[in-house]
Amino acid sequence: MKAILITGGAGFIGSHVVRLMVNKYPEYQIFNLDKLTYAGNLGNLQDIENKENYTFLKGDITDENFINNIFNQYSFDGVIHLAAESHVDRSITDPLAFAKTNILGTMVLLNAFKTLWKGQWEGKRFYHVSTDEVYGTLGETGLFEETTPYDPNSPYSASKASSDHFVRAYGETYGIPYVITNCSNNYGQNQFPEKLIPLFINNILTSKPLPVYGDGNYTRDWLYVVDHARAIDLVYHKGVDHETYNIGGFNEWKNIDLIKVLCEQMDQKLNKPKGTSAQLITYVKDRPGHDLRYAIDASKINKELGWEPSVTFEQGLSITIDWYLNNKEWLENVTSGNYQKYYELQYQK
């Protein structure tokens, strides 16, 4: 019986990882540790919450006493660490919160893991889930490889880069068997409507402007969240200790082109005349320090572990939109209360 701690499992990507692991490995005990910030939502996991191999623990990864106690109590063989502050715009408003959770929180977990196992590493693994944003920005050409030097530009990416360095340092210094993955932008069901795709779906549904930063010619590489969760499962079980793997779908889109495809799909699904949603597109002030382009070379994970995405972008986007259309209550729940304040602050500047 293996005990695996998944942090941030009530969030967007974490909830897909928890679901996959709980359903696929009934012989594992899966513990989901989450602080339930604005981004965490246990409603994301209703379908598995009563499974025997699933336990939810509410807590903060920066709370050393709490973390040390649960490591002692449950003796986690593995950690899959996703808990983080994850939104670039919020990191520009409140950078210290990102340093605390993303850097200090990661160190508290590493320390607890080190103290628990005291060098007895057989069968143990610390998996750190990171982002391609640590590599900084690309120009018009080229791809991020695992060997690309770190060059983060936002407080979010700087905090993730720092946490990656601490994971490596604990590996080199104390021998912790770690793996790190750096993934491109995710999209899919259960994503909080502050990130581009769910924000724009929600705004189309509520007939609000679609705020495009700058000229809209920024490029991101999009991956369907279930494919990211599949990659995490694979790397957790088959990845090589002390290695990092880039994850991405070879699926680059300029923001404005992606937004037009999204608007077309929304018009079709809502039975509105072509061009209706696109009328909401509004160019707004650019994000400070906005990275021009992200694009991942995912050939290492493909060649060494045999991973590839299971859906095309058009299929994934269609599944995603359908989910939001069929789960309006979920959207209404997460956009009530504090969300309105966040929205005003972010977009009325």
Instruction: Give catalytic status of residue 85 as yes or no.
Output: no
The residue among 29 and 186 lying less far from ligand TYD, judged by its C-beta, is 186
Q: How far is CA 188 from CA 153, 311, 323, 324, in A?
A: 26, 12, 8, 9
> Rounded to an integer, what distance in angstroms lies between the CA atom of residue 16 and that of residue 6?
11
**Which of 5, 13, 235, 321 touches ligand NAD by CB under 6 A?**
13
Run of H or E including 186: strand 185-187
Residues within window 180-209 making contact with ligand NAD, judged by CB under 6 A: 183, 185-186, 192
Instruction: Give catalytic status of residue 156 as yes or no.
Output: yes
With CB under 5 to 8 Å by kind, the binding choice for 199 among ligand TYD, ligand NAD, none is ligand TYD
Distance between start and end Cα atoms, the chain: 53
Run of H or E including 79: strand 78-81
**Which of 218, 307, 313, 324 touches ligand TYD by CB under 6 A?**
218
Residue 32's CB is within 10 A of a number of other CB atoms, namely: 28
Q: Which residue, among 121, 146, 118, has the nearest Cα to 132 in the 3D structure?
A: 146
List of residues 6+ apart from 49 with CB closer than 8 A: 42, 56
**Which of 4, 19, 32, 34 touches ligand NAD by CB under 6 A?**
34
**Which of 60, 77, 221, 291 touches ligand NAD by CB under 6 A?**
60
Q: For residue 11, state whether it binds ligand NAD (rule: CB under 6 A).
A: yes
Tokens standing for residue 303: 């060649």
The residue among 29 and 184 lying less far from ligand NAD, judged by its C-beta, is 184
Q: For residue 129, state whether it binds ligand NAD (rule: CB under 6 A).
A: yes
Residue 349's CB is within 10 A of a number of other CB atoms, namely: 7
Instruction: Give catalytic status of residue 213 as yes or no.
Output: no
Among 60, 85, 132, 297, the one annotated catalytic: 132
Summarize as ranges the residues that interact with ligand NAD (CB under 6 A): 7-8, 10-14, 34-37, 39-40, 60-62, 82-86, 101, 105, 129, 131, 160, 183, 185-186, 192
Active site residues: 132-133, 156
Summarize as ranges the residues that interact with ligand TYD (CB under 6 A): 88, 185, 195-196, 199, 211-213, 218, 220, 255, 287
